[in-house]
Structure 1
């Protein structure tokens, strides 16, 4: 395994352990990826428990096609939701998908987009310097036809610009960052904000 690939894999292993400790990646849910170069990314192998990953639980994927570059390893069915982001945004270096309870529940209670307003933690995201900023998190209908779901995500981004992340109804959260460290921070921030929103709706 090349040095860069090993470094990226180890960073994602650590992310998986952290997320599992917080209850954000139950069972074998979720998937993680990191860019290797302009043509390839590293992605979790399908069906692996994200709290117990090793550096062998990843495969290389071609960004243009979404096809596995490692024989005998099957990528996630949601591979296209990762590769579409790398293909359209060269600055994205990591994409993370989690399945927390707040993200799953709020995705079912929200139609269109979730507006996160008035939170100091919004400043965890690049370009946000005030609690007065509004973070818009679109919510997409779940769809087992992943190319069709990816097309819906692309259409939203074309119309509104790149959000800080998005939700899939009854499913979970996708977010990203320039590095694995940045993407992990964005997951942590969004999961906190989603939990806050869920508590507010209980009041």
Structure 2
């Protein structure tokens, strides 16, 4: 790598390490769960290797992957979900995935509805493009599937025809994916969505006549 290229790569990796520590401190990535990635350039991403403690990531725990090449061994089985999102949109610069108790639980509760509607919360304005608490933000929910190549294809097909969708989605009984144009925005989105999921679930539980 030339110097500027190396500097970009190191900056991206530092962003992933920072996000891993942030998520770990909040109890969102128990054991070695979760995976984090960020775009280096049009053709490459950096992504966490499988089985790594996200609270203690180092450069050695993160692989550089070519988006147009077969995935190398040692990555999370969920790497295809990341790759599919980057291939779908050049505007995505980072994708973070957590296994928080709230996202895992709420996604199971609402799995049959295939979505969670976020509405009425001031924190919605932390999501890029949302200007008011009156907005209705749709958070899609997908059934979990160990065949992540097939899962990635089904997710992308639905996302392409979904309006007003959040920059994220839930996997039922699994957790939350969120993205942004860089690591800071992706971290803001996953933090905001995590809180909104918990708030909306408490509201729905208190007001049973309101469905999500």
Query: What interval of TM-score do these two structures reach, taking the shorter chain for normalisation?
Result: over 0.9
Structure 1 residue ranges without an equivalent (≥5): none
Displacement of 1:157 in angstroms is 1.3
Contact 1:43–1:59 (8 Å) recurs in 2: yes
**In structure 1, the residue corresponding to 2:177 is in which secondary structure?**
strand
TM-score of the pair, normalised by structure 2: 0.89
Give a deviation string over 1:127-155, Cα, whole Å, max 9, x none: 11010001101110000011111111011
Partner of 1:150 in structure 2? 152
8 A Cα contact 1:64 1:83, kept in partner: no
d(CA) in 1 for partners of 2:62 and 2:174?
Answer: 22
Q: Distance in 2 between matches of 1:159 and 1:100?
A: 27
In structure 1, C-alpha distance between the alignment counterparts of 2:200 and 2:155, rounded to whole Å: 23
- The answer to whether the 8 Å contact 1:135/1:164 transfers is no
Residue from 177, 192, 196 that aligns with 2:195: 192
CA contact (8 A) 2:97 2:176 kept: yes
* 1:26-63 deviation per Cα after TM superposition (whole angstroms, max 9, x unaligned): 11000000001111100001110101111221001121
Q: How many residues align?
A: 199
Displaced runs of 4+ in structure 1, greater than 6 A?
Answer: none
Task: Name which of structure 1's ranges 33-42 and 158-167 shifts more when overlaid on structure 2.
Answer: 158-167
2:98 is aligned to 98
Given the two structures, how large is their TM-score scaled by the length of structure 1?
Answer: 0.93
Deviation of the 1:12 alpha carbon: 1.1
Residue in 1 aligned with 2:65? 61
